[in-house]
Structure 1
Amino acid sequence: MAHGEEGDAVMVIHESQFLPGTMMFVCTLGMFLEREPPAALALTEHWRVVEFE
């Protein structure tokens, strides 16, 4: 499964220890299988994390 492919399940979302509340790292199953580093996401007033199940 390629990075960003539709249906690529998110495995884990990490919050930055050094920049809590402002930086997240996302790893999908495809990224894990291809041994790619997690994608960094900067959180701003327009980009925020919401809880989901």
Structure 2
Amino acid sequence: MPELPEVETTRRGIKPHIRGKTITGVIIRQPQLRWPVPPELPVLLHRRKLKHVSR
């Protein structure tokens, strides 16, 4: 698990590149994380617009 400073640095770094963009696809490489990733997540996120980037 990354520490909060690394998470914040990553958030600030990706924000200008992904904010306002539309999700065109989702790749789930590891479905068993701390909590299982719902299999319907790619369908739910497809064509949604990223309005805000937070941690």
TM-score range, shorter chain: under 0.3
Kindly indicate which of the two structures has a greater share of residues assigned to strand: 1
Kindly indicate which of the two structures has a greater share of residues assigned to helix: 2
TM-score by length of 2: 0.27
TM-score by length of 1: 0.28
Higher relative CO (Cα under 8 Å, sequence separation at least 6) belongs to 2
